Each structure stands twice: as structure tokens, then as C-alpha cells.
Amino acid sequence: MSRIYKHLFGPVPSRRLGKSLGVDLVPHKLCPIDCVYCEVGPTTQKTIERREYVPVEEVLEEVRAKLAENVPIDIITLSGSGEPTLHSGVGRVIRGIKEMTRLPVAVLTNGNLLYDPQVRRDILPADLVLPSLDAGDAETYARINRPCEQATFERLIAGLKAFRAEYPGRIRLEVFFVAGINDTADQARKIRSLIDQIKPDQIDVNSIARPPAEPDARAVPFERLGELAAILGDKAEVIASRPRQEQESGIGNRESGKHSQAADAQSAPTQIPVSRPPNPESRLPIPDSQIPIPDPRFPIPDSQLPTPASVSPDAVLALLRRRGCRAEDVAKGLSAPRERIDQLLADLVARHLVTRQQRPDGEYFVIAG
Ligand code: SF4
């Protein structure tokens, strides 16, 4: 039976980054903010306090062991159950990983601690940093991101700008839109004006797919995301997937959620204003938002698929603790046979450890309670 890791998950096929090995540096769920759309669930402790929440050596030992398994990995991503820069040893983790592998290291961060020069220094050795900016003003920031007192909008913007000035690597800024909160042209224009000052290399436009922290939070329609992306400028790409109904009717890009102008031109009923087509350079040796979705670019040879017995209920629970997933996502995320995952999920539902949630793009499984 394969080893169960405490601090790692995946590798999962990620929409943005390929096969991503997730490294979880903080307990569930520590974050300076509490986004209405968070797929990890509501923040249980809002804080900006940095500590060694989990032992650095333990994390590095797990990464070393995982690499020794020789499973296909494109990138190692610090993300998971909260904000990775809250870990005071994040710099040691990045440097430690880079001493043991040439795989790129990415940091998924909300950017709230970047005002702190030490945090900026800590993550400088990362190859890619993916911060977030969901609001163009403090009022909207309070509504969508619900920060703790110290995580102010002004600090967030100042930190993002300071980081850009110091960091020579690639910054992919995610802008996450939620219907009725920040999906107006006015908000997009304000965000654009901040983007012009922050100067990210790329902007990922996204909206809700998996079960959000606030059940009432709603996704922005795909076409509207295209319009908002156009306002954000030519570095913006919609990375959200079209709803399944549209995919099944043959509209749009089925797999990546990235806008393909060719596909849209052929099949979409209206011209959607979009940004540039997928940029090969940005598809790195490429991890999400850690979204475990099928990705046919990276087929896993049968010889590398685990046997049914080797996929444990704990592995499924470990993945679902990070985010709700569809059965097909779990199967892909764990590189496991679909029949085995269906059995395990049915068993976990029967034991009331997991519940089912119906969403526009299918049935999701989430941790109960
Ligand atoms: S989405 Fe990210 S930044 Fe927002 S509450 Fe969840 S873990 Fe924190």
C-alpha cells in the first residue's frame, strides 16, 4: 500500500500548472482572510501570525520520499489548507526542496503577508508566485475576502507592488469573480488600474466551480468572465471551465478552461471578448489552484496506475479535505481506477464522512460537517 503523507497531496493534474505535488504548510484552516468562495471551507482562524506550524524537516522528509517514488511531477506547489506564507519556515522549505530537485517550485498565496519584507525574501527563490487580487477597493475587498483586522487592502496592494519590484520570477495574478459582489465593469476597471501598478506577468480570471465556503456565493457566467477579462487587459485569460452542459454541446475549450479563440470562433454563438490564446511559455513545466481535473495532455501510463487495493479511503479523505471534488477528479487526482473511487466514495458517504453536493458541472463530494 502506498504511503499516506501528512503534508503532501497529489500530484494532481492542475488546470494551471500540470501535474502538481501540493505541499500543505499550515493546519486546516489558517488564513488572514476568509474568502466567500474558498473551496477549502470557512477560515477557522484568521491570523497574520507567522509560526512554524508544522516542522520543516518533516515536510522536507516527505517531499524527499515522494520524489523517490518516481511518479510524474511537473511542479511542486506550496498551497493546501490555508495561507502558506504564514509558515515562518516557508523559505527553508523552498530552499530545501530546490536542493533536492530541479523541479520548479510555485507558491499559491493570497498576498496578504507580502507587505512584510521577510515574507518577500522568504519566497524569492520560488520559480513562480500566484497571488490573488479580487477587489478594486477596500469595501469590495471586505465583502469578498473578509480579512482579519491587520490584513488591510492598503497593505495587500503595497505588498504586491513591493514584491513585484523585488521578484525577478514569474507572477501569475489570479482575479476571482463572484456574482453580485465584484463582477461589475466598474470593479474590473479598478482592478485593472491596480494591475497596471502591480505589473504581473499574467492574469488568471476565475470563478466558482467547486463548493464554496458560502453556499450562497455564485459563479459568474463564462461569457461574462470573458468580458471582465477583456477589461483587465491583454495579459488576462479566463481559466474557469465552461459549465458541463456547454462542454457536452461542443462549445468552447473542454479541457483546460482557458479561452481558445479558435474554438470560440467556430462554435460559440456570440463573440466573447477574450485575451490572448494560451501562452505555451506560461504552461510551465507547469500546478490551484490545485484543481484536480482530467488533463489529456498528461496521460498516465497504465503501468503507473495504482492497483485498486492500493488506493485507501484516507487518501480520498486527504484530497477532499483540501477541496470538494467530483468522482472523476478524485480518480484523476489519485491516478486511481474510477470504479475503485466510486466504491470508496459510496462507502465514505454511507459512513457520513463525506456528503454529495450537486453543482452546475456535476456532483461534488465534500467532507461532511
Ligand atoms: S481561498 Fe485561499 S486565501 Fe481565500 S480563504 Fe481560502 S485559503 Fe484563504
CATH code, domain carrying 69: 3.20.20.70
86 lines ligand 1 (CB under 6 A): no
Q: What share of the chain is helix, strand, coil (3-state, %, to 5)?
A: 35, 15, 45
- C-alpha grid cell, residue 39: 473551496
DSSP sequence for 216-259: T--PPPHHHHHHHHHHH-TTEEE-SPPPHHHHHTT-S-TTT-S-
What 8-state DSSP symbol labels residue 302?
G
Is any ligand 1 atom within 6 A of the Cβ of residue 26?
no
- Does ligand 1 have an atom closer than 6 angstroms to the CB of 38? yes
Could you tell me if residue 353 is inside a domain?
yes
Question: Ligand 1 atom 6: the closest Cα is on which residue?
Answer: 38
Cell of 245: 452542459
Q: Which three cell numbers stand for residue 161?
A: 507592488
pLDDT tens, N- to C-terminus, the chain (369 residues): 567 899 998 888 777 788 999 999 999 889 999 999 998 889 999 999 999 999 999 999 999 999 999 999 999 999 878 999 999 999 999 999 999 999 999 999 999 999 999 999 999 999 999 999 999 999 999 999 999 999 999 999 999 999 999 999 999 999 999 999 999 999 999 999 999 999 999 999 999 988 899 999 999 999 999 999 999 999 999 998 776 554 544 333 322 222 222 222 222 222 222 233 333 333 333 333 333 333 333 334 444 444 555 677 877 887 787 777 888 878 877 778 888 888 888 889 888 888 888 777 788 888 887
Of 282, 312, 343, which residue constitutes the final position of a domain?
282
The predicted model scores a pTM of: 0.76
**Among the atoms of ligand 1, which is closest to the Cα of residue 82?**
7
Collapse the DSSP code of 46 into the 3-class scheme (helix H, G, I; strand E, B; otherwise coil) and give the result.
Answer: strand
Q: Does 351 map to a domain?
A: yes
Task: Tell whether 291 is covered by a domain.
Answer: no
Query: Is the shortest distance between the CB of 151 and ligand 1 below 6 Å?
Result: no
CB 208 within 8 A of CB 224: no
- pLDDT, residue 181, reads 98
292 in any annotated domain:
no
Reading the block at residue 258, the C-alpha cell is 482557458
Residues 248 and 340 in one domain: no
Counting the structural domains of the chain, the total is: 2
What's the CA-to-centroid distance between 339 and ligand 1, angstroms?
Answer: 32
Last residue of a domain, one of 251, 282, 313: 282
CB-based contact 108:290 (threshold 8 Å): yes
Residue 316 lies in a domain: yes
In a domain, 47, yes or no: yes
Q: Tell me the pairing of strands 170-177 and 236-238.
A: unpaired
- From 25, 30, 43, 86, give the residue whose CB has the most ligand 1 atoms within 8 Å, as the site to mutate: 43
| 173 & 229 share domain | yes
* 81 CA → ligand 1 middle, Å: 8
Question: Can you say whether the dihedral through the CA atoms of 210, 260, 254, 106 is positive or negative?
Answer: negative
246: Cβ below 6 Å to ligand 1? no
- The amino acid occupying position 201 is D
Question: Cis bond leading into 11, ω under 30°?
Answer: yes
Instruction: Choose the final residue of a domain: 223, 252, 282.
Output: 282
In this structure, the answer to whether residues 180 and 229 fall within a common structural domain is yes
Q: What is the DSSP letter of 347?
A: H
> Based on the domain organization, do 13 and 145 belong to the same domain?
yes
| For ligand 1, atom 1: residue with the closest CA | 38
Cis peptide preceding 29, ω within 30 of 0: yes
Query: Do residue 81 and residue 38 come from a single domain?
Result: yes
319 lies in the same domain as 236: no
Confidence at residue 50, expressed as pLDDT on a 0 to 100 scale: 97
Statement to judge: residues 97 and 207 lie in one domain = yes
Residue 347 sits in a domain whose CATH number is 1.10.10.10
* Rounded Cα–Cα distance for residues 252 and 265 (Å): 9
**What's the DSSP call for residue 310?**
G
Burial annotation 66-97 (CB, 10 A radius, 16+ → b, else e)? bbeeebebbbbbbbbbbbbbbbbbbbbbbbbb
For ligand 1, whether the C-beta of 83 sits within 6 Å is yes
**DSSP E strands: which ranges in the chain?**
8-14, 18-24, 30-31, 45-46, 75-79, 105-108, 128-130, 170-177, 202-207, 236-238, 325-326, 354-359, 362-367
- Residue 352 structural domain: 302-367
Q: H or E element: which one contains 141?
A: helix 138-145
One domain for residues 200 and 336: no
| Pick from 127, 11, 40, 25: nearest CA to 83 | 25
Q: Residue 79: CB within 6 Å of ligand 1?
A: no
The torsion angles phi and psi of 130, rounded to 5 degrees, stand at: -120, 85
| pLDDT at site 13 | 79
Atom of ligand 1 nearest to the CA of 31: 8
Same domain, 209 and 60: yes
Same domain, 122 and 239: yes
Residue that has been written with the C-alpha cell 501562452 in this structure: 279
Instruction: Identify the pLDDT of residue 317.
Output: 82
Same domain, 252 and 362: no
Report d(CA 146, CA 138) in Å as an integer.
10
Q: Is residue 130 part of a domain?
A: yes
Ligand 1 atom 4: the closest Cα is on which residue?
Answer: 35
Residue 245's CB: how many other CB atoms inside 10 A? 10
Nearest CA to ligand 1 atom 7: 82
Q: Are residues 265 and 340 in the same domain?
A: no
- Confidence at residue 66, expressed as pLDDT on a 0 to 100 scale: 96
Does residue 2 fall inside a structural domain?
Answer: no
Q: What pLDDT score does 18 carry?
A: 87
CA–CA separation, 87 and 92 (whole Å): 10
Would you call 142 exposed, middle or buried from its count of C-beta atoms within 10 A (0-12, 13-18, 19+)? Answer: middle
